[in-house]
Amino acid sequence: MHSPLFPTIVQRFSSSVVLLLLSWLLPTFGFAQSLEIDPELRKRLKSSIVAADSFEDRFDAEVWLVAKSQVLKKYIKDPEYRLQILKAVHREASRQNLPPELVLSVIQIESHFDRFAISKVGAQGMMQVMPFWKKEIGRPQDNLTKMDTNLRYGCTILRHYLDREKGRWPEALARYNGSYGSYRYSTKVLNAWDQWR
């Protein structure tokens, strides 16, 4: 049961979020418009909106989930939610033939597992996906704060950059982050990857 102040708090929070979003998004509108859209990535994102289960063996699943849950506990206290995240990450990473541990590392650096995270340039969700991709692939209704949707987009984009860079992780990660030419972000993700392996 919520206190009488709950609706007021929610309303104030919602208004603050809208103002904050506007202050971030308006200056970056030109940035999003000026980006050169990669037609191959657009095609890949369009075709990736399909579900699949990723664990073939129940024992392997249990071992992996228990081990990774211990690491994720630092960020997510609720054990059920931790398992939900881990299953979703494993599913989407496996669909794109990515190491799930690497995807967990990207999420750790990008959002600290906050599915409502929004960057100063407007990137959204756990994997910090730019919202212009929804329009580019004809899915404006997609919600990038929805975990499964965000992971589907993020893993597809990461796979595309890894293919483009012929398997070179530092370059692919730099492209994913929009910082190609600098290895600062790549180094952070690759260092984080060590704790997930």
* Distance from C-alpha of 169 to C-alpha of 9, rounded to nearest angstrom: 44
Beta bridge partners of 129: 124
Lowest mean pLDDT among 9-18, 29-38, 62-71: 9-18
**Helix segments in the chain, DSSP class H:** 6-34, 39-47, 58-72, 79-95, 100-111, 132-136, 147-164, 169-177, 184-196
Closest CA to 61 of 95, 100, 103: 100
pTM of the model: 0.74
Q: Among 3.30.360.10, 1.10.530.10, 1.20.1740.10, 1.20.1050.10, name the CATH number for the domain at 38-196.
A: 1.10.530.10
Please determine, for residue 155, whether its predicted confidence score (pLDDT) is greater than 70: yes
Average pLDDT over residues 91-115: 97
* Least trusted range by pLDDT, from 13-22, 122-131, 157-166: 13-22
At 21 the pLDDT is 35
78 falls in which pLDDT band (50, 70, 90)?
A: very high
By CB atoms closer than 10 A (0-12, 13-18, 19+), residue 110 is buried
Please state, in angstroms and rounded to a whole number, the distance separating the CA atoms of residues 33 and 16: 26
pLDDT score for 62: 82
pLDDT at 33: 36
pLDDT recorded at residue 188:
97
CA-based end-to-end distance of the chain: 42
